[in-house]
Structure 1
């Protein structure tokens, strides 16, 4: 098995204390990290080794711009 990086070890240690799903914010807090890239990189490393399962989701917000607001107020 490949060697774990320090962030991977840190994340795995934190996750072993609570056997449930973790959000990115919870990982950042548990590992005392401020950088999401560190958490995501460590998570991908652990996932590639089969030690964790990751699921990702995204939310897209669509809002009217000024032209859209003008069109909406004009009865479009």
Structure 2
């Protein structure tokens, strides 16, 4: 199982290993591997892909929109 960001040539995670300390995998639910992004910014908005490579490659796409707080 790995997480990718669309347009990136490197994985964000591979199995339990993370490529950057900003990312981690939450496995509190045994049936779910959730990508957690630390210190998220608007630049993190985009499409994220979860890939599972068993007998056949399966992909699920997620769109993340980050909105900053409005300051007066």
**TM-score, normalised on structure 2?**
0.25
Give the greater-gyration-radius structure (CA).
1
**TM-score, normalised on structure 1?**
0.24
Higher strand share: 2
